[in-house]
Amino acid sequence: MSDRTPPGHHITVEPATEPVRVARDGHVVADTTRALALRETGCRTRRYIPPEDVREDLLTPSDTRTYCPFKGTAAYWSLPGRPDAVWAYPDPKPEVASIKDHFCFYEEDEG
């Protein structure tokens, strides 16, 4: 991590050990064995899915943006009936560069 990271705050990114599958209203939105697991102090583990394994045609871009001092600015997408259900970091901080353009879902079904 960089010098700006507070003591005791850590982020690690590594290959996820389990497949990740995301379904919404009977449609598989994402299905992968190539997800990245991001572990961050104080947060639940999040799995970031490569864009090749996401049905981007089912996502609607949102105007929502959020900023994380450790990861950068996130862009959001909506699913039918679920605004801002998906996010990605198009230009992440160097410490988490491997998650660039990978999608993360608020709700995921693993396996």
Q: How confident is the model at residue 9 (pLDDT cuts 50, 70, 90)?
A: confident
More confident residue, 26 or 61: 61
CB 76 within 8 A of CB 87: yes
pTM score of the predicted model: 0.88
Q: Which domains does the chain have, with CATH numbers?
A: 11-110 (2.170.150.40)
Which pLDDT belongs to residue 6? 63
Q: How confident is the model at residue 57 (pLDDT cuts 50, 70, 90)?
A: very high
Residue 58: φ, ψ to 5°: -95, -5
**Mean pLDDT confidence for 81-90:** 95
DSSP secondary structure letters along 7-61: TT--EEEEE-SS-EEEEETTEEEEEES--EEEEETTS--EEEB-GGGB-GGG-EE
Which pLDDT belongs to residue 80? 87
Cα torsion 4, 97, 77, 18: sign: negative
